Structure 1
Amino acid sequence: MFKEVLRKKCYVVDEGRFPRKLGVFDLIFLGIGAIIGAGIFVIAGQASALYAGPAIVFSFLLCAVAIGISALVYAELSSAYPISGSAYSYTYATVGEIMAWLVGWNLLVEYGIAVAAVATGWSGYVRTFLHQNFGLELPKALSGAFDPSKGTYMDLFAFLVVLLVFGLLTLGIKESARVNTFIVLIKLTVLSLFIIFGIKHINMENILKDFLPYGWQGVWHAASLIVFAYLGFDAVSTVAEETKNPTRNVPIGLIGSLIISTLFYMSVAFVLVGMVNYKELNVEYPLAYAMYKVGEKWVANIITTGAVITITSVLIVMGLGFTRIIFALSRDGLLPDKLSAVHPTFKTP
């Protein structure tokens, strides 16, 4: 019995099961799509105002180093085991079944909760957008999680976006990657607009006058909050079996997406604390607030709208990881066999 729960898996990839359609740029954009979500539009301002001040840039750098070490491990293991299960399969091959089973279920919970949480956040953004711009409101019963005491029974927009995303994932990996790439390009364009139009409004006094208001302890405290803005990069490794030359491309996708995301994070944070005094940034939408503050209202409106659109890419990548982990667990006999079935036409789990 003891030997059975510690048995290891020797993986042989079935080359005919999934078509290898993803290239290195698809993987980089999948990684960026997972990493850069609503967090940068909110968390940079709050972490600066409450913990780090203008030194928030160093908090992002510390997180990048810590997550980068993890990314290097994923890069090494994804090169050695180019299969769909990510950390679950790596654990099964190197440590044993019982630990792999625990890791697999942890990943399912991670991706599942991420999908639910992001869908709920997306729904909130959409409801606010419709109310503020068009005066439209859903019936209360359809505008929140099931809670009869509050009169809410279903979050309709969250349900619909999850249905739409998983429908897209069923149509094919390349189709999903193309939609994600399109959304990520919008996301990077929105952040680039903030940097380009914000940099001319930087007042260095905002940065240098009180650079470390909470000391280095505040920088570390902010880093513990910001680290959540980096989560999701590992989802790139779940599509290794659908990637061309995975031993080369998956590591590049992991590291490349992390580097690009970090550069955008640090640039946005620097411009943000340079435009507005950090004490003013504990608001719901700090990036849009900063643009309104300096008179760039049209950029602020684009940022607010862009935040709604770009969250969708996080849903796509988290949903992708969720389905691939289920597939891997089922293929290894830890979930019912039917869950590892592959669609005969679309070649997706």
Structure 2
Amino acid sequence: MSDLRSPAIGNSNGDESLLASHGYRQELDRGLNLWSSFSVGFATISPVVGIYSVMSLGAMSVGPSWVWIVPVCLLLQLTVALVYAELSSQFPLAGGCYQWVRRLIGDRAAWFTGFLYLASALASLTTVAYLGGFWLGLLVTGEPPSANAQVLCGAALLALGLGVNLLGINPLKYFVNAGIFAEAIASIGIGVLLLLFFRNHSFEMLFSSLNALEVSGGTYWSGFLTALAVGGWAFLGFDACSQISEETTDARVSTPRAILRSMLVVGLTVMLTAFAVTLSYKDPAAVVSGQIIDPVTPAVVDAFGAWAEQPFVAIVLVAFVACVVSVQTYIGRAIFGMARDEILPGSALLRRVDKRKVPMAAMVCSTLLASLGLALGLNATAVGTLIAFGSGGFFFVFLIVAASALYTRLTGRWDPDKGALKLGRKGLLVNVIAVVWLVFEAINVAWPREMLAPPGAPWFQVWAVVVVFSALALFGLAYLFIAKPHRRIATSLSFAGRAVG
């Protein structure tokens, strides 16, 4: 059986001692408890952001039967979350995957993993801000925004999130909690009401495609794979809990618990919303055909009346704001976690922590880089490309981490039982399943699909995930070979003159 015991060093002094044993000193504000860490993970995964963004694409792929993708993705992604929970219970460090691969495999692989992770996280932040821009425009004008307006609204959300993050970790908690409250209303509350009182179809419809196969390529298998590719977007972000480990008390216990709880709660919430909204469509054929891009708002308005539209849009927007804030939070910590080892350009600036104990330069840098990606949204039909682009890199990083854990587990270079979370013999099986799933899903997400690209899109947009991340990988490898940033780790301020445990 799995076991998660609190170690003897469970207080703030113990956290700092553990951090010192890894060669670092406490620079961030350790002001988050288990609930706060869970809140950041929940807001980052975000049932609203996840399910509302992929519902239309899923329905267009295989019709109403797309909802069965949700429990499949949840169970398989949970194996990845368990591997991450194991690692975070032993190495609760800002930088997450970079720190773990460094200790499991080595400095070169760690730098490359961290580089890909930052690129993927920035793409994810761009995607969330762009999707949230739709709801901001809808709230302000009462109509779906134009392509340019949605990009501007997305930039506004990035600026708002940056402002919140620069206030410090304690004020940030209140914004994230507000987001969770909004999530509870928009997902759980409305989902239960729709399912119990406003269901327009029988459960048999959940096993039908409603002619969606003509859109997805003519076979159910091709549509299923497409739905599985976009469905993975709904279960990204649980690793945010590991990035804020150095701001979490009793991190060896709290961080893995937060990872697993946020994944499970979000997964069950997404399932409820997917089933409830799908069964409440008055015209599911219009959703399947792509005539309705946002199927959620019409379902709510049809059920509760026209008065409910603006309050509902406002609630969804709050959830998106909380997600943007949370994603910016963990990206800033990821940059800080790498910069203090002096392996990023401008590390001396990016590692600085201000009087509020916030890595301000890292936060500003990540926001500016994410805003550049909004240019992809100037074509309003590029949402499928953005979602694939935002999730593709994460699955490659997940695969590197899970494969590194499996290799070192099998060769005896890593002993998972030294962490606070102990899966015992089941850990190996979980790790194997995670690697197999990630190999499949990484290829599936990267697979070029004209359906997810705008009509008449050029070839490079259809192949966006492959082209962009191949170019990033080649750039990262070239930089690693020429600049040799990994050599700076041992001589960085963090490790100079220290004995690393």
Which category of TM-score, normalised to the shorter sequence, fits these structures? 0.7 to 0.9
Instruction: Return the alpha-carbon distance in structure 1 between the equivalents of residues 205 and 342 of structure 2.
Output: 60
Paired letter, 2:198? H
Q: Which residue of 1 aligns with 2:398?
A: none
Aligned-pair CA distance for 1:11: 6.1
Question: What amino acid does structure 2 have at the position aligned with 1:130?
Answer: V
CA 94–11 in structure 1, closer or farther in 2 if over 3 Å, else same: farther
Q: Residue 43 of structure 1 aligns with which residue?
A: 54
302-311 or 320-329: bigger deviation: 302-311
Percent identical across equivalent pairs? 21
Closer/same/farther in 2, CA of residues 95 and 178 from structure 1, 3 Å limit: same
Mind listing any 5+ residue stretches in structure 2 that lack a counterpart? 1-19, 214-218, 360-501
Quote the Cα distance in structure 2 between the aligned partners of 1:16 and 1:263.
36
Query: Is the 8 Å Cα contact of residues 88 and 101 (structure 1) preserved in structure 2?
Result: yes
CA distance in 2, matches of 1:334, 1:42: 35
- The structure 2 residue matched to 1:202, chosen from 199, 202, 216, is 199
- C-alpha deviation, 1:15, in angstroms: 5.0
Which residue, out of 266, 281, 286, partners 1:280? Answer: 286
Contact 2:39 2:177 in 1 (8 A): yes
**In the superposition, relative to structure 1, how do residues 161 and 105 fare at CA in structure 2: closer, same or farther (>3 Å)?**
same
Q: Which runs of 5+ in 1 are unaligned?
A: 1-9, 146-154
Q: Deviation string for 1:21-79 (max 9, x for gaps)?
A: 1111111111111112433224224312x233333332001111121111011100001
Contact 2:44 2:323 in 1 (8 A): yes
Instruction: Report the Cα distance in structure 2 between the residues aligned to 1:158 and 1:52, rounded to whole angstroms.
Output: 30
Specify whether residues 273 and 247 from structure 1 end up closer, same or farther in structure 2 by C-alpha distance, changes over 3 A only: same
What's 2:332 paired with?
A: 323
Q: How far, CA to CA, are the matches of 1:159 and 1:203 in structure 2? A: 38
Q: Distance in 2 between matches of 1:144 and 1:27?
A: 31
- Structure 2 counterparts to residues 301-316 of structure 1, below 5 A: 301-316=310-325
Give the drift of 1:235.
1.3
Give the 3 Å change call, closer, same or farther, for CA 285–305 of structure 1 in structure 2.
farther
The aligned amino acid for 1:242 is E
Task: Tell me: CA distance 1:183–1:294, structure 2 relative to 1, closer, same or farther (3 Å).
Answer: closer
Q: Distance in 2 between matches of 1:57 and 1:127?
A: 28
Change (3 A) 1:239 1:94: same
Q: Secondary structure at the match of 1:270?
A: helix
**Alignment match of 1:63 (pick from 73, 90, 101):** 73
Give the conservation status (yes or no) of the 8 Å contact 2:64–2:205.
no
Letter in 1 for 2:236: L
| 4+ aligned runs moved over 6 Å, structure 1 | none
Contact 1:243–1:249 at 8 Å: present in 2 too?
yes
Amino acid across the alignment from 1:129:
L
* 1:245 corresponds to: 250
Please tell me the residue identity of whatever aligns with 2:50: G
Note if contact 1:327-1:340 (Cα within 8 Å) is conserved in structure 2. yes
**Equivalent position amino acid for 1:23 in 2:** N
Alignment of 1:81-160 (within 5 A): 81-132=91-142, 143=149, 155=152, 157-160=153-156
Report whether the alignment pairs 1:185 with 2:185.
no
Q: Confirm or deny that 1:25 pairs with 2:31.
A: no
**Residue 348 (structure 2) aligns with:** 337
Structure 2 CA distance for partners of 1:303 and 1:81, relative to 1, 3 Å: same
The number of residue pairs the alignment matches comes to: 323
1:226 and 2:235 are equivalent in the alignment? no
Aligned counterparts of 1:295 and 1:331: Cα–Cα separation in 2: 52
Instruction: Specify the alignment match of 1:162 in structure 2.
Output: 158
Per-residue CA deviations over 1:255-289 (Å, capped at 9, x if unaligned) read 10111111111111111222226423342221111
CA deviations on 1:108-143 (whole Å, 9 max, x unpaired) are 11222222332233334323332227x9x99x9x84
* Two-structure CA RMSD over aligned residues (Å): 2.7
With structure 2 as the length reference, what TM-score do the two structures score? 0.59
Whether the 8 Å contact between 1:13 and 1:83 is mirrored in structure 2 is no
SS where residue 326 of structure 2 aligns? Answer: helix
Tell me how far apart the structure 2 counterparts of residues 38 and 324 of structure 1 sit (CA, whole Å).
22
Q: Provide the C-alpha distance between the structure 1 equivalents of 2:76 and 2:136, rounded to a whole number of angstroms.
A: 34
State the structure with bigger RCO (CA 8 A, min sep 6), 1 or 2: 1
Deviation at 1:323, TM superposition (A): 0.8
Equivalent position of 1:3 in the other structure: none
